[in-house]
Structure 1
Amino acid sequence: KNYTVLLLSGAVVAYAAFLQGGIDKTGYLWSVLLIAVSYLLMEIKKANIFSFLYGIFLFFTAVVHISGLVSLPYNPLSYFTILIIISIIIYVGNSVVKETLEKLLFLDKIANQDILTGLHNRKKLIEILKNELIRARRYNRPLSILLLDIDDFKKINDKFGHNFGDKILQEFAKLLKMSLRNTDHAGRWGGEEFIIVLPETNKKNAVKVAEKIRNLIGNYFEDIYGKKITVSIGLTEFKDWKNESIDVIMHEIIEIADKALYKAKRDGKNQVAVK
């Protein structure tokens, strides 16, 4: 909103300079500068709208001048030059902004996303979990996490090759996405381990989510590939240790989920264990 007010104020000044002509009839340069600045301060769609509307305003002013209804310090060819300059700025503005946004999105992707699976990476998961723990503590809301591990994944890799193993990880990630709400967060913790953060979810409901995922995984791979691939899941619910820092709590909750996962593995795999 502040930028919009600033640009509208600038539009009044730039238009006044345009009408007056300025030194050596270069008053139109303020309009050119205004449009360029709009691409620096606004989203590209809003900058395009602003530039279009302001450009239309200048166009009708030029038409009125050429028609002889008003007197301005420009000759008709000057308007053609102004149009060309503004068009170039709009084109460059769109190109530069688009290219910059694409680069920023790519950098964000490689910084926060696991390239193989498309899920959050470990760094992003830690950030998400920390924020959700802060929110759960502040508003006294439930929060559960699942730690998942594909059973006997090393054997799968050794028997069928790493390319097949990568495909399993990618399919596994897709199934996780399908199983979760928009408010849930799934990420690759490392290797064949994954973490799911479930805001607003108590232990009882988290078990339902975990069992849904476990059954989906077991049925999917057997139906598609004819191979029995299963997952073990460790589950825990956030408990507010009042005197502990969020970093300590985050470490503790992951450690508890890991112990639950170990129990699921020890008791025969392909099951959900709760701590």
Structure 2
Amino acid sequence: MSVPIASQPASTASTHTTGYSLCLGIALFIAQLLWPVDTLAADKLRLQLRWLHQFQFAGYYMALEKGFYRQAGLDVEILPGGPQAARSIEAVLAGEVDFAIANSGLVIARLQGEPVVALAAIMQSSPVVWIVRADSDIYAPQDLAGKRVMLLAPPESAELRITLLREGIDLSQLRISPASFDPQDLIDGRTDAYNGYTSNEPYWLKQQQIAYRLINPREYGVNFYNDVLATREALLEERPEQVEAFVNASLAGWQYALDNTEESIRLIRQRYAPDKPLEHLRFEAQALRKLIMPELVQLGHMNPGRWQTIADSYVELGMAEASSDLEGFLYQGLAQPDHRLLYQVIAGTALALLLTAIVALRFAHLTRRLRQEMGRRLQAEQELRDSNLQLERVASTDRLTGLWTRLKLEEVAHNEIKRAERYQLPLSLLFFDIDHFKVVNDQHGHDAGDRVLSALAQRVQAQLRESDCLCRWGGEEFVILMPHTDLEHAAVMAEKLRILVSAEAAAPDIGVTASFGVAQWQPGQSLRELVKSADQVLYLAKQRGRNRIECFVPSAPRPQT
């Protein structure tokens, strides 16, 4: 790169620039002859994909086809996957492949003591959903009870299983069958809920002109990473520079694929997936971009706290032993840059006089580059903080009502319980839902049902204190956490809200009522137990005619359910 000298005529500056470049080229050539530079190992690296070739792995194809791997000194082979996707982690650990694409279930292996390392998370949200026909009566997880439901083997279906668990649905209530990987089963009525990807099967259903609905775990507070690039600790310890180069080249490939989507689609169809129509690949690319969120989050970004939450979810499912130690699981990158070339050039005593001039020019150049790099790093760090805040807001806010999600309330509630326990403060919880809400949807349509939920949420929120926490628990269910409030005052507030809900139409020509269950936190009680107490008396309120409140009294006999 030339160094312009503004105070000299252009011809003089050009002469200095040409001389500098010539001297630098000669010096590096001689230095390489005297002291050969170590290069990355030339052994072939094998990357195992989770599934067959498709746009889901576009970044790795482009890193290979556009020479990013080659420029990093890497020889890479990409291996397609298939239905046995979980086998890829075993292959990494056994040394059969060097890198693999896994879902968030990768953390289970780590909790079990396996030396796996998460290098980068490509999808910030999972594409795993249930797909149901639009002419079915299935709108929410609760509607799956008694239905024929397809489920991938764990951990591939973990997002769906944790959604069922948190919605209070036991697997024994479902008629479960293994995933067939054939959406024709949904069309022909051989299953009621198909375990699929938002980026795949919906395209096929649209082509067949089959109307469908999605039950998405994210709408119920379950938000896992997906398509995580992974390796084993041994490779990272033996060849850290090679791992670093592979990660950087792969992320560069992903950036290229997202910036040049149409070129990537055509190349994938030409060289990797000739049987996939271009329109299918375009549909997949658009769906995956929403999950990767490159405008919000830095490519490959992973949050340690979010990984811990995911690990806790697997423990809750009984798929892993409890553990709070994930140290070493998340890849941190190389601590120090490699200055060996600079040291080798400086060590060339035979070029001492020539290097004196070069070092002076190089110092000015590096100083300017350093200032620029520091500015870029500060800007990148600020953008990363902003994107993390934005992502947290997205994950913490219910899209329809603007209220907190269940995940956010659970986070706040744990802190409030600790505060109540430490200072012996009262803490109450209101659990309420709209009576006969399915009738509203059936008679007026789901758009009207959404307006009812949104309007009710705004009216209830307006009656609460700033310290009270209102969240949409799921479907038509809501939870209010009331710090510094005993059972008596919480019941007064519940009655006030019950009257408010029934007094005004929630939407034009649509009136609703609500039933309330009220419980006060007891010392030693967990959030799950507190919610269960309120849920029990909510059920009792519905048994006794709805549009009423019931309070949980610990000393009284437990309500019959």
- Aligned twin of 1:274: 551
| 1:250 matches 2:532 | no
CA distance in 2 between partners of 1:206 and 1:217 (Å): 16
| 1:232 matches 2:515 | yes
2:371 to 16, 29, 33: 33
SS at match of 1:183: coil
| 1:199 matches 2:483 | yes
- Aligned twin of 2:392: 108
Shift, 1:109, TM fit: 2.5
Shift, 1:264, TM fit: 1.3
Q: C-alpha deviations, 1:181-205, integer Å up to 9, x for none?
A: 1111111111110111001111111
SS at match of 2:505: helix
- Aligned twin of 2:218: none
CA distance in 1 between partners of 2:401 and 2:484 (Å): 25
Shift, 1:100, TM fit: 4.2
CA distance in 2 between partners of 1:220 and 1:28 (Å): 69
Q: How does 1:116-265 map to 2 (within 5 A)?
A: 116-221=400-505, 225-241=508-524, 249-265=526-542
TM score, norm. by length of structure 2: 0.32
CA distance in 1 between partners of 2:467 and 2:505 (Å): 26
- Aligned twin of 1:85: none
Higher helix share: 1
What's the RMSD between the two structures over aligned residues?
2.7
Amino acid at match of 1:254: V
- Aligned twin of 2:234: none
**Any stretches of 5+ residues in structure 2 without a counterpart?**
1-359, 553-561
Identical counterparts, % of pairs: 35
Q: C-alpha deviations, 1:222-241, integer Å up to 9, x for none?
A: 6x523321111100101113
1:99–1:270: structure 2 CA closer, same or farther, 3 Å change rule?
Answer: same
Amino acid at match of 1:228: G
CA distance in 2 between partners of 1:34 and 1:185 (Å): 45
2:504–2:511 contact (8 Å) kept in structure 1: no
SS at match of 1:254: helix
CA distance in 2 between partners of 1:26 and 1:166 (Å): 62
